[in-house]
Structure formats: C-alpha cells, structure tokens
Amino acid sequence: MHTPLCRHATGEPVDYARHAIEAGLTEIGFSDHSPMLRDDFDNWRMFNSQLDEYVAKVRLAQKTFPELTIRLALEVDFLPGHEGWIRELAARHPWDYFIGSVHYVSESWDIDNPAKLSEWKKRDAFEVWKIYFERLTQAAESGLFDIIGHADLPKKFGIRPVQDCGPLYDTFLDAVAKANCCIELNTAGLRKDCKEIYPSRDLLQRAFARHVPITFGSDAHAPEEVGMNFSEAIELARSVGYAETCRFQQRQREAVWL
Ligand SMILES: [Zn+2]
Ligand SMILES: [Zn+2]
C-alpha cells in the first residue's frame, strides 16, 4: 500500500488503516515506492529526505489503530547497480519487509508508466518481457528482498508476446526458490487493462511446484482499494494448491494458514 508521498496515491495511512478495519482485515503493511539515490530519477516516488516522514505517517497509523497490525515496509525498485543503495535504505529503519519490484527495463523506461505507453510500439514485446524477467531474476538472486512484487507486470497494458514465456518464468522462479524468497499475489492487475491478478495462473502453478511461498497485496493507491479483490486472489491461490500465506515482522517470515 502507498501514501501521498509517492505523488500518485491519495489518502493518509490512517485512512487506509480505517478502511482495512472496515474490510475485516487484521494485518496490513505499507510499502510505498522507495526513494532513489537521485531525487530527479523520476516523478513517482518520495524524495530521499521524506523517508523519515513516511515512517512517521505509518507510526501514526499504528498508534491510532492499535487493534490492527500495521507493518512498515517499502516497495524497492531493483535496477542493476543499485544494490548498494538498497542496502543503505535497509539499514535506515527497522523494516518489516522489502518488496523488490522491477519497473525499469532500462535507466529511463518504466514499462508500467502510462505516459510512456508509446515505447511499447517501438519494441518487440518478447524482447521487453525477456529483459524484464532477466532483471526480476537478478532481483531474486540479490537476496535483498523478502517478496518479489507483481511478477508479470509487463502484461499491465494487455500487450503480450506470442512466444512462450514459460522458460522465463522457470528461470525466475528457480532463483526465487533458491533465495528462499516469496512472490506476491497482487490484485491491482484486475484494475488494469490486463484484467488479471499478477501473476498469472500459469506462473503461479510453476511457483507452487517449487514450493515458493506467497503473500497477498492490493497495491492500494487509495484507501478504498485496501484489500480489494482479495477473495479472488485467495481463490486463485487455493485452486493452484496453496494452503499457506506469509506474514513478516522485522524481516522474519512466518507461515499462516490460508
Ligand atoms: Zn505506485
Ligand atoms: Zn510496483
């Protein structure tokens, strides 16, 4: 879940928490877009100087709603060469978990950015998916993350390669399993052109075959999106064979029955 500090979400953490209680959730986590080393890298994340303010907003929600477990986390962009910066971020606060996400397939193209949709027309879809999954595999191998976010994000706009992406998924998931990492079921995909949870059933089946643990996220950018479509996500997980999900505290994982 996000906060207004990332400049494309609305509502304060206290508003998300209130909505979570109304939705019957017992535990939530904030994982706003992490700052980059350079504040001018893009325009959809908090500034480096706002990290403490972000933590304070989450702490305020924890204090306001003691009946709800609220975890402090970040959605961290993985780009090759940024590992040192990610380690620095990890040391700055007692985070409960880090979600590692790939949005960038180059230093300048964030593939899920609607403002850059025209970039897709200049490239072969499979080439983009290949680079994306290579980076996602590196993210898993880095050992910097507890959870890998929205694993098949390139499908967001409904642009899909005709080629078989199975081998890309397999290489990625082998790395996830080896690194003892999780993947998330992210319901935001249902709100996008692809109209599908991230990841697809195919990818999730391959994850289950490797005993890769899962978490659930609504990727809420507004309070009313908290926990949205979780029943569909749980249904998908169960239908693939999953009986457990995970929770995190201070970057320690615990399995919970689904
Ligand atoms: Zn966002
Ligand atoms: Zn993301």
Which ligand has an atom closest to residue 186 CA? Answer: 2
pLDDT digits (tens, 9 = 90+) for 101-116: 999 999 999 999 999 9
pLDDT digits (tens, 9 = 90+) for 192-249: 999 999 999 999 999 999 999 999 999 999 999 999 999 999 999 999 999 999 999 9
Q: How far is the CA of 140 from the centre of ligand 2 (A)?
A: 15
Question: Residue 17's pLDDT is what?
Answer: 98
DSSP string, 48-77: GGGHHHHHHHHHHHHHH-TTSEEEEEEEEE
Q: How far is the CA of 94 from the centre of ligand 1 (A)?
A: 22
DSSP state of 27: E
Question: Residue 227's pLDDT is what?
Answer: 97
Q: How far is the CA of 8 from the centre of ligand 1 (A)?
A: 6
Q: How far is the CA of 177 from the centre of ligand 1 (A)?
A: 26
Q: How far is the CA of 61 from the centre of ligand 2 (A)?
A: 22
DSSP state of 7: S
| CA dist 49 → 3, 46, 226 (Å) | 15, 8, 27
Q: How far is the CA of 149 from the centre of ligand 2 (A)?
A: 7
Closest CA relative to residue 247, chosen from 158, 147, 153: 147
| CA dist 105 → 46, 61, 132, 163 (Å) | 21, 35, 6, 19
Helix (H) or strand (E) holding 29: strand 27-33
Helix axis angle for 166-178 and 201-209, nearest 10°, is 40
Closest CA relative to residue 179, chosen from 98, 82, 111, 241: 98
Measured between alpha carbons, how far is 191 from 165 in angstroms, rounded to an integer? Answer: 23
Q: How far is the CA of 240 from the centre of ligand 1 (A)?
A: 28
Q: How far is the CA of 209 from the centre of ligand 1 (A)?
A: 30
pTM: 0.98
Measured between alpha carbons, how far is 32 from 70 in angstroms, rounded to an integer? Answer: 13
Q: How far is the CA of 3 from the centre of ligand 1 (A)?
A: 9
Q: How far is the CA of 75 from the centre of ligand 1 (A)?
A: 9
Question: Residue 88's pLDDT is what?
Answer: 98
Which ligand has an atom closest to residue 184 CA? Answer: 2
pLDDT digits (tens, 9 = 90+) for 166-196: 999 999 999 999 999 999 999 999 999 999 9
Peptide bond into 13 cis (omega under 30): no
